[in-house]
């Protein structure tokens, strides 16, 4: 992987228009907008990366929210886009929209088109392999939407300790039509129900995963990127939705999992030492998207109705907390055999340089302990040692085709070796300082 870089989660806010029932009820339109990044509710301003007013087109939302992430994924980064908000606030409209309507389609179908448009225009030496998965989290169980016999899949970790859904169907796709057919198939298997607030209320969280792997056939360089597209079920007040029976049980599970998501967001925003990712399947799956190796955009969807003012405020506060979270992203690059060989040789050279540094320090310390005053020109030169290690690290960075890392005296062995070296050299420096002080006093 390339050197990591920090980036904040982006939070976009979208307000839908008043719906028919709200207009009939005489609800007031409570949202007031200041510029393109601030909305005011009850005299309180809420600022985000962008705020979309009710008349904003699907195309504009896509261009501002998702277009850049598509390029990032094709350049080897991981990405996540998810919609959050109360029930009937426009989440599914934002993520899916009218799947086969050029004007009405949402983020997911537009991403599908853009991915292939980019691929068709790229260097002919690049070979792409794209596979997709589609699953839902229903009553805190993971159901494969492309194989309905898989109703309780489990979350595991890969070699990099990144969570993934084990056993989920993966389909290789070669065109936008194949992807859209897969989405249509999965969508037909998703749990929905009728409530007082939504005729097509999602009763589950759905996740559409796109895996993109590419290889340069000339250089054999390989990159990979994952894109999670998440349509969360909406939070509900049972008194408003009129949920009962099975629909009530679904509402309880939806609210519970959204509460777990809120707890994760709060813990990350507060830089807590413990983040409760394992409190729900959803937060476990999205662990890398929230505080991990991923470029993440959250679209918070809001109702402008006075009837939903408390829920809208809650959604806005969620978005403000999420906006403070930093992810650490890097390119997912797989080195070629030749690059691995060069990197191994450079790491050996770096290892030797660092061991020579330790030996020099130990010899100098021994001379001080024996009462000898070590001449300045024979004392350890920290700056020179830094430059030697930096030069080797620069070569390693070039092999990785990444920016040169910022390093100190101690380079990277294994984590255990690095910690041991840091501890030993800290002791050596302290003993040297103590010896110099004693000699000066004498």
Binding positions for ATP: 85-92
Integer Cα distance of 272 and 181 in angstroms: 43
Binding-site residue ranges: 85-92
Contact 116, 175 (CB under 8 A): yes
Is 228:80 a contact under the CB 8 Å cutoff? yes
User: Contact 10/69 with Cβ under 8 angstroms?
Assistant: no
Q: Rounded to 10 degrees, what is the CA torsion of 289, 291, 296, 298?
A: 90
Phi-psi label, residue 117: left if phi above 0, alpha if psi -120 to 50, beta otherwise:
alpha
DSSP for 152-198, please give it.
Answer: SBEEEE-TTS-EEEET---EEE-SHHHHHHHHHHHHTTS-EE--SS-
State the CB neighbour count (10 A cutoff) for residue 78. Answer: 25
What whole-number distance in Å separates Cα of residue 372 and Cα of residue 14? 73
Distance CA 411, CA 417 (A): 10
Token representation of residue 122: 């790229």
As beta bridge partners, residue 290 has none
Would you say 206 and 144 are in contact if contact means Cβ atoms under 8 Å apart? no
Closest CA to 94 of 40, 136, 130, 57: 57
Bridge partners (DSSP) listed for residue 205: 137
């Amino acid at each position: 992987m390339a050197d990591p870089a920090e980036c904040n989660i982006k939070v976009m806010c979208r307000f839908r228009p008043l719906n028919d029932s709200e207009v009939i009820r005489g609800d007031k339109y409570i949202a007031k907008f200041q510029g393109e990044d601030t909305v005011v509710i009850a005299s309180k301003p809420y600022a985000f990366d962008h705020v979309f007013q009710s008349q904003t087109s699907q195309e504009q939302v896509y261009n501002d929210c998702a277009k850049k992430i598509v390029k990032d994924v094709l350049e080897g980064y991981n990405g996540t886009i998810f919609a959050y908000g109360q029930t009937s606030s426009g989440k599914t409209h934002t993520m899916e929209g009218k799947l086969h309507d050029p004007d009405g389609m949402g983020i997911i179908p537009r991403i599908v088109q853009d991915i292939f448009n980019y691929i068709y225009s790229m260097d002919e030496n690049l070979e792409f392999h794209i596979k997709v998965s589609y699953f839902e989290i229903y009553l805190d169980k993971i159901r494969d939407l492309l194989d309905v016999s898989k109703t309780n899949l489990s979350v595991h970790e890969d070699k990099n300790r990144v969570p993934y859904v084990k056993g989920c169907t993966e389909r290789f796709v070669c065109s936008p039509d194949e992807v859209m057919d897969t989405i249509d198939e999965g969508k037909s298997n998703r749990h929905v129900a009728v409530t007082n607030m939504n005729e097509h209320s999602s009763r589950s969280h759905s996740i559409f995963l796109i895996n993109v792997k590419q290889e340069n056939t000339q250089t054999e360089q390989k990159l990979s990127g994952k894109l999670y597209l998440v349509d969360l079920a909406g939070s509900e007040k049972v008194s408003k939705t009129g949920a009962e029976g099975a629909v009530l049980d679904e509402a309880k599970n939806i609210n519970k999992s959204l509460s777990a998501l809120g707890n994760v967001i709060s813990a990350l925003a507060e830089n807590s030492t413990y983040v409760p990712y394992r409190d729900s399947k959803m937060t476990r799956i999205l662990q890398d998207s929230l505080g991990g190796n991923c470029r993440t955009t959250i679209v918070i969807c809001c109702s402008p109705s006075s009837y939903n003012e408390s829920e809208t405020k809650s959604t806005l506060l969620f978005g403000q907390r999420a906006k403070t979270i930093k992810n650490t992203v890097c390119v997912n690059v797989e080195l070629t055999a030749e690059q691995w060989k060069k990197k191994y040789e450079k790491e050996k050279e770096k290892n030797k340089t660092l061991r020579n540094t330790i030996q020099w320090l130990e010899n100098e310390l021994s001379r001080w302990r024996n009462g000898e005053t070590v001449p300045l020109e024979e004392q350890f030169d920290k700056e020179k040692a830094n430059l030697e290690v930096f030069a080797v690290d620069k070569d390693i960075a070039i092999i990785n085709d990444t920016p040169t890392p910022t390093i100190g005296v101690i380079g990277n062995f294994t984590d255990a070796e690095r910690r041991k070296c840091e501890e030993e050299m800290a002791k050596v420096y302290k003993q040297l300082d103590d010896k110099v002080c004693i000699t000066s006093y004498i």
